[in-house]
Amino acid sequence: MSKTKFEKIRNWEYWPSSMFYVPNLPYAFYLAIRAKHPAFFSAANPAIKSSGNGTESKFHTIQLVPEKYRPKSVLIPPNKCFQKVLEEIKNQNINFPLIAKPDIGFRGLLVEKINSENDLEVYLKNYPIDIIVQEFLDHENECGIFYHRNPNKDSGHISSITLKKFISVKGDGKSTLRELIMNDDRACIYIELFEKIHKTSLNNIPSNNKNIKLTVIGNHSKGTQFINGNHLISNKLERTFDDLSKSINGWYYGRVDLKYNSFENLENGQDFKVLEINGIIAEPTHIYDAKNFTYFQALKAIRIHWKSLFQISVINHKVHKIPYKSAKKFIHEMFELKSYISSIKKLQ
């Protein structure tokens, strides 16, 4: 067995998502029975299509965020004239490098940092789907904050903070970049990704003590390490997110992925940018800090969040008359999403 395969089996943070959700299905069925509807969760976030089940447009969802908190972005339909793409990017004052990603995406799929016009043209030709082109934010830090609020109350709660540590290796003046990656217990797991990102420099020998950041995309699938930051939850931060939630009429439950420089400024609602708002399929990603959580604690944390989702959805339905989406339509959307994801994975 290879070192990479052994690490993926030994460390539960790399286990497939089914290992986190199948054991919790009995609890999901119990909540559905209590709500008297199999798709009760579809009423949680009326501002977002299907409350954010993954089929929603990320571009249209980010437009719900106040302008000062969102990055400059444009939505590029497939096969659009490239010169017009460049004009639109220029009109929005988006410069290279920039970030390109699918408008409907999943776990960092096809998210790339694009360094030049030529690279962007190749990317858009390779992926003829709706693509978001977004300014590259050079804030020092990235985190995910899970927030939920009873629709009848003015204040909510933060239940999860995930600090993101971008994967890197340090040169020793002797080893090639490939060797440094393969000698790192975490980096070696993502060698296929880094062979693509750093294909022109894998045989270079970084100087002694030089730190090489291997990715700038804050997704677990890109090698980013998720660290439990729940000790940073504070009343001040919750008030900031109360304000954000109330500025988006109809968003009560989900995870906000954002960039920031100083956590103190973030607490005060200053100097941060929202990358994405994730709805009902959002995870409290701090649970993937395998050094500080056990697998069974992770399962319990998911159930706790589902309980909050149930409460919010039922209140929205009973008090605010938000209809539940038909189970048939919801399931149809999920099958469409699965088919879409399979199709774009084939483009890689």
264 dihedral zone (left: phi>0; alpha: psi -120 to 50; beta): alpha
Q: In this predicted structure, what is the pLDDT of residue 107?
A: 78
Q: Mind listing the pLDDT tens digit for each residue in 213-246?
A: 998 888 888 889 999 999 999 999 999 999 999 9
Q: Domain 72-136 in CATH: superfamily?
A: ATP-grasp fold, A domain (3.30.1490.20)
Q: Does residue 1 have a pLDDT over 70?
A: no
The rounded radius of gyration (Å) of the Cα atoms in the chain is 21
Does residue 222 contact residue 108 with C-beta atoms inside 8 Å? yes
Q: Does residue 5 have a pLDDT over 90?
A: no
| C-alpha 193 chain-centroid distance | 18
Instruction: Give the pair of three-digit tokens for residue 217.
Output: 């995309």
DSSP 287-347: GG-TTT--HHHHHHHHHHHHHHHHHHHHHHHHTT-PPPPPHHHHHHHHHHHHHHHHHHHTT
d(CA 155, CA 53): 24
Task: Please state whether the predicted TM-score (pTM) of the whole model is above 0.75.
Answer: yes
Higher per-residue confidence, 40 vs 105: 40
Q: In this predicted structure, what is the pLDDT of residue 2?
A: 65
- Residue ranges of the domains in the chain? 12-71+138-165+225-345, 72-136, 168-214
Of 49, 42, 28, 27, the closest CA to residue 317 belongs to 42
d(CA 155, CA 149): 6
Residue 76 DSSP SS3: strand
Q: Does residue 7 have a pLDDT over 80?
A: no
- Tell me how many helices (H) and strands (E) the chain has: 12, 11
Question: How sure is the predictor about 255, in pLDDT bands with cuts at 50, 70 and 90?
Answer: very high
Q: In this predicted structure, what is the pLDDT of residue 89?
A: 97
Phi and psi at residue 24, in whole multiples of 5°? Answer: -95, 0
